[in-house]
């Protein structure tokens, strides 16, 4: 599963579910980490 814009983690936060999600953005795709960070979420780039 790609991180995209961190929608999965944001949905968990909106539903007040306590869990840990690491958003992984592929190196070969567009860099969406700034959007993920702006939402207050964690993320990394990976190949």
For 3-22, the DSSP string reads -TTTHHHHHHHHTT------
Q: How far, in Å, CA of 10 to CA of 21, rounded?
A: 10
Structure tokens at 23: 């958003």
Q: Is residue 34 part of a domain?
A: yes
Tens of pLDDT, residues 19-32: 888 888 889 988 98
Q: Is residue 2 part of a domain?
A: no
Q: How far, in Å, CA of 3 to CA of 37, rounded?
A: 12
> Could you give the number of structural domains in the chain?
1
Q: Is residue 16 part of a domain?
A: yes
User: What's the domain range around 14?
Assistant: 7-46
Q: What is the pLDDT of residue 2?
A: 54
Q: Is residue 12 part of a domain?
A: yes
Q: Is residue 1 part of a domain?
A: no
How much of the chain exceeds pLDDT 70, in percent?
89
Q: What is the pTM of this model?
A: 0.67
């Amino acid at each position: 599963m790609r991180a995209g814009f961190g929608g999965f983690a944001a949905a968990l936060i909106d539903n007040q579910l306590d869990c840990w999600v690491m958003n992984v953005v592929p190196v070969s795709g567009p860099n969406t980490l700034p959007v993920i960070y702006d939402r207050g979420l964690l993320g990394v780039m990976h190949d």
